[in-house]
Structure 1
């Protein structure tokens, strides 16, 4: 069970641009049918485009921008995003939400004596834990946080076991 995120933002932006273009064409067409002066004159657009050459700067820049936009949309559609539900090991097809997974690991790290704040980043094969402490000598804190997070991972039981990396941030020594 690896649910992937929906590509809502690229799809929404593409739909809005296409909708705006369709609305513009529809309004200009209705204005022409009714015999009114259109917002955009077809003759002016055709004359401007007729005067441009392929070797001019404007068509090259516009083509490059449109090609880059198309490539970005294609990559957004093809490349997988981060899983929103991470699979768990067990008899049943089950998973843990990414936010809940992160917050329970953060709570395990923050529960260690001497930790004042903890941040957790989930990667594909690694969990990065960054803790802050007010201790001036944080000896052994890295191992204690790693043990707490590893214990919590044992309780959760992920399908693929990530490696745990811990960094401790302590105030400078004033000796």
Structure 2
């Protein structure tokens, strides 16, 4: 399910600077891989649906990173809560979970109170997004893979056409 509200597809997303579970500071640029970034925006960290979403991201993190699209999640929680959360996981988290205690990123992206996952290309442009109800953890992985292939293929075509002109 794609949602047509803010942020707007094919426009650069607003920059964020947040701290992860290891107390490292990240921005969109530092999180982005060679083919982009899969950024999840979650509401409160300890809600069961958001725990499921973090587990979903963990399950797919290695494959996504190998594809050049590492995942990251923004959660409405303090840095200490995110660090505690990561220590309660039965395995170490292999992607950044970013603390956003005031939900400033969610407000900036017009996603307050909603779970969303966004595919951002290497230039910081939003290529796909999904906003799902609390009954569904995330879209099917096949949808995300298709979006990655479509957006990176389109970006390659744009680059080639600029070289020719």
Query: TM-score by structure 1 length?
Result: 0.22
Q: Which has the higher contact order (CA 8 A, sep 6+)?
A: 2
Bigger share in strand: 2
